[in-house]
Structure 1
Amino acid sequence: MTLLELSGVSVHYGRIRAVSDLTITVDEGEIVTLIGANGAGKSTTMRAISGIRPVSSGTITFEGEDITRLRADLRVVRGISQAPEGRGIFPGMTVAENLDMGAYARKDRKNLDAELDQVYELFPRLKERSSQAGGTLSGGEQQMLAIGRALMAKPKLLLLDEPSMGLAPQFIQQIFRIITEINKQGTTVLLVEQNAQQALSRAHRAYVLETGEIVKTGSGRELLADDSIKEAYLGVA
């Protein structure tokens, strides 16, 4: 079943068109990744899906309903949650308080303790640091916190924008293992990532963006084997 569909979506910043006529689908249970160079329009696409950036034209459909003009907070209620680029945690709040903020839009709060336990199972380090201020965590721990906070909204679709940016190699491996585990537990994932090797090896399907347009799509495995992708994104001549 198609969970999310972008149809002919364009987004402008003033007169500059950041993405042009995008058509993307994400099926329930998938990991789908968007790859591309800096400035390709990946993060703009994520902001359009989450409702932070208005679209100039086209439609965004979620679970069969048009959400193109729906407010960002109501998209969270519908089941779309994002861990943004740059993490965006609340540095003065504790880890536990940050995680609680992730559930702010939920009407059903009965199972919060159980879901908090699930987040701590995925990220044991967050449990160890539950009373520590978010701003004192390392970069990798802050990324874990951003993902954990997004999961506390109990999303049907988890948007992850550059989760490996600025992380040490051991944290990158760990973050991608956890993304796979989150998906296995039933959450659909749309991933924007510059680490094409990791993203494509985990994704069921992928889209390649260049200057705001989709230039290639296929399974993660197909694109990993594609010579032009290897040369452009994997450093293989």
Structure 2
Amino acid sequence: MLLEVSGLSVNYGHIEALRDVSFGVEQGTVVALIGANGAGKTTTLKTLSGLRPVRAGRILLDGKDITKTPAHQRVSLGLSQSPEGRGCFPGMTVRENLDMGGFARKDRKSAEYRSDLDRVFDLFPRLREREKQAAGSMSGGEQQMVAMGRALMARPKLLLLDEPSMGLAPKLIQQIFSIVTEINQQGTTVLMVEQNAAQALKRAHQAYVLETGEIVKSGTGKDLSADPAVKAAYLGGDI
């Protein structure tokens, strides 16, 4: 198991955002967390990244306990996140944003680093075309590509994607999800939080449903897609 989360509880002041959450992510898979707004999905990813303190529970990455590891060290250990809202550096170019993703790497002048950069440009050809363009002048979809590419430049064992399709046109949503599948097929494990439950479950090997800070259902993406309660709540009655 690449990621093991057990008994995770997180508070925002006196409000319990996550309560006794346990789940795992197998190496080489795509795992989806779905649920309504306010269910605790983004809090889960922020906690895994080290941006929220843990009240109780444990987080293991590749067998190592990272529950109290600072956020920047988690990146070096193989955890990298593409955040909700993209979070690009608007005044920096596409290439500079990508280089920020590889900031902690010690091989930035190596052929391997260049190869990783080429991989990002192959996944997102638009970024190669706009390598010298300021990220803040790009469309929402292009900025999402920058955010995902930046996260990949850290060479993560586990890529965390927070709402990759948010605010995108339907055609672009399909493209982003296809790229998520391709990233996984190239060997990167993915944990994805996504409001577009239909697309997320279609791509996921395993999925979990969060409601008010607790996991209430789990199963394969296919099984949850067929679950009547999940269909009614998140898939508009169909997928």
Q: What's the TM-score once normalised by structure 1's chain length?
A: 0.99
Q: Which runs of 5+ in 1 are unaligned?
A: none
The Cα of 1:135 is off from its aligned counterpart by: 0.3
How far residue 108 of structure 1 moved from its aligned partner, in angstroms, is 2.9
Name 1:34's counterpart in structure 2: 33
Corresponding residue of 1:60:
59
State the distance in 2 between where 1:51 and 1:30 align.
22
Aligned pair 1:199/2:205, yes or no? no
In the alignment, what sits opposite 1:214? Answer: 215
2:232 alignment partner in structure 1: 231
Superposition RMSD on alpha carbons, in Å?
A: 0.7
Q: How many residues of Structure 1 are paired with residues of Structure 2 in the alignment?
A: 236
Query: In structure 2, how many angstroms separate the alpha carbons of the residues matched to 1:182 and 1:3?
Result: 17
1:173 equivalenced with 2:179 (yes/no) = no
Q: Which runs of 5+ in 2 are unaligned?
A: none
Give how far 1:114 is off.
Answer: 1.1
Q: Distance between the aligned counterparts of 2:116 and 2:44, measured in 1?
A: 29
Superposed CA deviations along residues 73-112 of structure 1, whole A, max 9, x for unmatched, are 0000000000000000000000010001100011233211
1:181-233 per-residue CA deviation (whole Å, 9 max, x = no partner) reads 00000000000000000000000000000000000000000000011111000
Q: Summarize the alignment of residues 151-162 of structure 1 with structure 2, pairs less than 5 Å apart.
A: 151-162=152-163
Classify the secondary structure of the residue corresponding to 1:146.
Answer: helix
1:22 counterpart = 2:25: no
Amino acid in the other structure paired with 1:149: R
Amino acid at match of 1:112: Y
Distance 2:64 2:179 in 1: 30
1:12-67 C-alpha deviation (Å, 9 max, x unpaired)? 00000001000010010010000000000000000000001111100000111110
**Inter-partner Cα distance in structure 1 for 2:100 and 2:69:** 21
**Alpha-carbon distance in 2 for matches of 1:157, 1:214:** 21
Q: Is the aligned partner of 1:107 residue 2:109?
A: no
Separation in structure 1 between the aligned mates of residue 204 and residue 213 of structure 2, nearest angstrom: 21
Indicate the residue corresponding to 2:82 in structure 1: 83
Amino acid at match of 1:80: L
**SS class of match (2:2):** strand
Per the alignment, residue 186 of structure 1 pairs with 187
Provide the residue aligned with 2:91 in structure 1: 92
The residue type paired with residue 235 of structure 1 is G
